[in-house]
């Protein structure tokens, strides 16, 4: 079954007419920084059909920052139950913002998960390369190769171990007091 997508303006109409339930699969800190009003937070690592909010008689819409994690969540849920009427918000919360639609914001700055991973990888590669070059320590050049292998695996499988680890860091688990994380029953 092909993954169904929805644009931000159509989703807004569905939410206004109570035709859809919206699930945000970003991390708690991302959600706390900004979210679409009424969205239920369920980080990608916790996505399962049993943990979904009640969507009886409604369309189920998943979203993330840009659409990638949302697509992964949809695929995971469809693998669990192929009969689900599920949609991924095309372009994620960034498309919602670009359409000029309202967001609930905390006015706190937050570095998105993908950029945190890029920053860590960039720093590791730079440090390992400099140590390898200046100390003539070829073993440090192996680190760059191992990171390359990790990136290759992440690119081919869609699973990034570093992103999973970074998502569990305390600064990514902070949740505003008004945030609700849906937990499996």
Contacts for 38 with CB less than 8 Å, ≥ 6 apart? 15, 22
Q: Is the pLDDT of residue 16 over 90?
A: yes
pLDDT tens figures, 32-71 = 889 999 999 999 888 999 999 999 999 999 999 999 999 9
Contacts for 74 with CB less than 8 Å, ≥ 6 apart? 3, 4, 62, 86, 87, 88
Q: How confident is the model at residue 175 (pLDDT cuts 50, 70, 90)?
A: low
Please list the active-site residues: 64
Q: Is the pLDDT of residue 74 over 90?
A: yes
Contacts for 84 with CB less than 8 Å, ≥ 6 apart? 49, 60, 77, 78
pLDDT tens figures, 113-162 = 778 888 899 998 888 888 888 888 778 778 888 888 888 888 888 778 88
Residue closest to 89 by CA, chosen among 102, 105, 71 = 71
Give me the pLDDT at residue 179, please. 45
Instruction: Name the pairing type of β-strands 40-41 and 20-24.
Output: parallel
pTM of the model as a whole: 0.70
Q: Is the pLDDT of residue 180 over 50?
A: no
Superfamily of 4-110 according to CATH: Rhodanese-like domain (3.40.250.10)
Give percent helix, percent strand, percent coil of the chain, each to the nearest 5: 50, 15, 35
All structural domains of the chain with their residue ranges: 4-110, 113-172
Q: Tokens in use for 169?
A: 């860091």
Pairwise pLDDT comparison (166 vs 109), residue with the higher score: 166
Residue closest to 15 by CA, chosen among 80, 79, 96, 76 = 96
d(CA 98, CA 7): 11
Question: How far from chain centre, in Å, is Cα 103?
Answer: 17
Q: Supply the mean pLDDT for the chain.
A: 86
Give me the pLDDT at residue 49, please. 94
Give me the pLDDT at residue 135, please. 85
d(CA 125, CA 143): 7
> What share of the chain in percent tops pLDDT 70?
92
Give me the pLDDT at residue 184, please. 37
Q: Is the pLDDT of residue 3 over 80?
A: yes
Q: What are phi and psi of 149, to 5 degrees?
A: -65, -45
Q: Which 8-state DSSP code applies to residue 51?
A: G
């Amino acid at each position: 079954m092909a993954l169904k997508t929805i644009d931000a303006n159509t989703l807004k109409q569905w939410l206004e007419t109570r035709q859809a339930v919206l699930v945000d699969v970003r991390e708690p800190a991302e959600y706390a920084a900004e979210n679409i009003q009424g969205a239920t937070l369920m980080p990608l690592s916790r996505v399962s059909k049993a943990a979904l909010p009640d969507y009886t008689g409604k369309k189920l819409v998943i979203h993330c920052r840009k659409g990638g994690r949302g697509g992964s969540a949809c695929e995971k849920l469809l693998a669990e139950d192929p009969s689900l009427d599920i949609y991924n918000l095309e372009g994620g919360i960034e498309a919602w913002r670009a359409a000029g639609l309202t967001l609930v914001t905390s006015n706190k700055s937050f570095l998105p998960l993908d950029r945190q991973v890029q920053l860590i990888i960039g720093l590791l590669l730079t440090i390992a390369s400099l140590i390898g070059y200046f100390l003539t320590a070829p073993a440090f050049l192996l680190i760059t190769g191992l990171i390359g292998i990790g990136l290759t695996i992440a690119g081919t499988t869609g699973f990034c171990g570093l992103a999973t680890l970074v998502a569990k860091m305390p600064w990514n688990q902070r949740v505003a007091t008004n945030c609700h994380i849906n937990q499996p029953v």
